[in-house]
Structure formats: C-alpha cells, structure tokens
Amino acid sequence: MDIFQKCFEYDLDKQAIARGIYPYFQPLDNTEGTEVTVNGRRVLMIGSNNYLGLTTHPKVRQAAIKAIEQYGPSCTGSRFLNGTLKIHTELERRLAAFMGLDDAIVFSTGMQTNLGAISSLLGRNDIVYVDKDDHASIVDACRLGMGEMKRFVHGDLDQLDRMLEKAPAEAGKLVVVDGVFSMGGDIVDLPKLVAICKKHGARIYCDDAHSLGILGGGRGTAHHFNLVKDVDLTMGTFSKSFASLGGFVAGQKDVINYIRHTARSFIFSASLPAPNLMAAMAALDIMETEPEHVERLWENTHFMMKGYREMGFDIGPTQTPIIPVMIGDDMTCFGFWKELFEAGLYTNPVVSPAVPKGMALLRTSYMATHTREQLQRALDIFGSVGKKFGIIK
C-alpha cells in the first residue's frame, strides 16, 4: 500500500473550501493586539492567547528592538556549545524566583519544553499518567519517552487514584496535567491531585502554558492553590502571556540540572534568540510590577462569561479567559465561524479529531487590553449569528 494514500484521501479541508467556509491559515496583514487586519479589513480578535495584551506594550517592543541591535537575530548554536548568552541564565534565574522554585531551564519553544523535559524523565520502568484533555505536546512527549503512558478520563482523579493503586511498587510514577486546559478553560483540581500523588508516591508535572499571567496573580496554578512546594515541575511558555516565543520548566535544582543535560530537544536545538529572551524578560518585569493587567483580564473574563450565559450559549465548565462556545457539527461550526468572521470577529473553530465528533466548538479567549465596547460588540455579533444558526433563541 502507498504510504501517501492517507494524504490523497484526506478531504476535510477540501469540503470546507468547496463550501467557502475554510477557516485556517488566515494571513494577517497586521496586528494591534485586540484588533487585526486581514486582507485590508479590521477584525476584532477574540482568538488569541495574548492574555495580558503585552505584545503591544511599549516596554516589550523596545526590549526586543534593543536586543536585536545588541545581540543580533540568532545565537547560531545550541545552548551546550556557543548558544548560551548571559541573558539566558539571567532569565532562568528570574523565572525560578518568580515561580518560587529552585531553578529553571529555558527552551526555544513551548512544544520543545514538554518534548524534552517529560521524555528525558521517563525510563523503561516508569509510568506516566496523562489527562485525556492534556495538550498534544504532552502526549507526544510521553511517546518519545521510554516509559509506559496511561491516560485517564478528563478530570476524573478518582480513576487516576485507582490506576496509581495498581502500579508496580518498583515503577517510577509521573502525573502530567494542564493547569488550565487549553480548549475547555477549566482548572485542574490541584489540591485533590496533590493528595492522590502523595498517597502513591507519584511526582507532578503541571503544564502552566495557559495559567501563567492568569492564575495566582500571574504566577500560575500552584500559586493559585497555595501549593507551590507540592508541584514538582511547572512548565510555562512565552508565546502567550509573555508576548514572545519559547518556554521553560522550573523545579528542584537537581531535577532541572538533569533535564538540562539529557533533554534532546534542548541539547540539539539552536538556543532562543536574544529578542525573544528580552521580550519575555520585559513581560516578566511588567507582571511583577503592574498587577492591574491581571485584574483587568479577570474583569473582562467575567463580563464575557456572564454575557454568553445570559444569551443562552453553552460555554461548558470554563473558569478562565478561555471561553469555548459549543456548536456541535463540524461543518456547522465552520459556517458559524464564517458568519462571525464576515461580521468582523476573529475566533478559532475546533473540530474533530481535536474534540470528539459532534462536539465542535468555537474557542474564544480574552485580553486585559480589550475595551468594554469591543467586548460588547463581540457579544452582539455572537448573539445575532447564534440566533441565525438556531444555537440560541
């Protein structure tokens, strides 16, 4: 059989294109954070992970400009060789302090952070337990590791408890969860998870990609629950609240040192360039000194949650600025997206297999920099299109 046969048979994109409702790879002419320009037309952005709106903050932009003038656009090598700048180690030191942990290591992307950190920890006799709604990078990282991966139903920590109970005594055990789940916007029940893991001697790795800048005054899930010393490793990205590119993992010094010397995606990748480092550093400065950004983000989040629910939309169990609007059928979701887009609203359609068949949704997310007028406009457009599609009455 031709290995390319699956490629020739794939047609979801072709179906959507034929109907004029294909939503992906929209080329942006420009972005001002809360608004973007597409084909010369301004569109309100409610589909970004720019939670604190710092991509447009002058301190962040100036930091990146200054860095490229001083260091250039690339480090041209791995951190192991010629690719470590003093600002790499400075950012790692500051991130560890920000998270209240011993040490941190910076990777070139968030995906590489999970791939390298998780896979390096998994030996042949180890078992890793993963929530079924964890990010794809976590699943891929577990596949790269030498251990066995077991998945539990999303949020079902009682099932996890039973699974850990059956683990061989000699097996190393790692539980990997998202702090905030990227599609549903719900928060992991960290207090219960900590109690279960302590009971069974399992370690905890928390992916805080969507938690940093949002929970715990911006410091993430463990700070939100006051369980900083009970979470063994915390991962974060720079491509969301930090308004840059890259990622990091923080934890005990010996563990971070081990990851630093064994994570293949760290050892064999070029290091993060200075403009990205300095942009992330400037964002960190802002998080530490300007708490009003987090406060405004939550004001906007509560306004939108209330608005959607009052109109009758199903937004699931979200607890964060990630607010999914449940649609159902894949093509209906694409059609709904198209109507919103034509009305001047940018959202993200999520269809199978990213979600189960029949559970397609529009993923919306909000920024501290959205104005109340912009948010009300988004609700008005959603209400009009929702009635047209029969999603609400």
Residue numbers annotated as active site: 182, 210, 240
Determine how many CB atoms are found less than 10 A away from the CB of residue 295: 12
Asked if residues 277 and 245 have their Cβ atoms less than 8 Å apart, the reply is no
Peptide bond into 168 cis (omega under 30): no
Determine how many CB atoms are found less than 10 A away from the CB of residue 377: 17
Distances (CA, A) of 228 to 84, 219, 287, 291, 294: 28, 10, 18, 20, 20
Q: What share of the chain is helix, strand, coil (3-state, %, to 5)?
A: 45, 20, 35
Using alpha carbons, select from 282, 280, 377, 392 the residue that is nearest to residue 336.
Answer: 392
In degrees to the nearest 10, what's the CA dihedral of 372, 49, 154, 140?
170
Give the type of residue at 227: L
Give the type of residue at 2: D
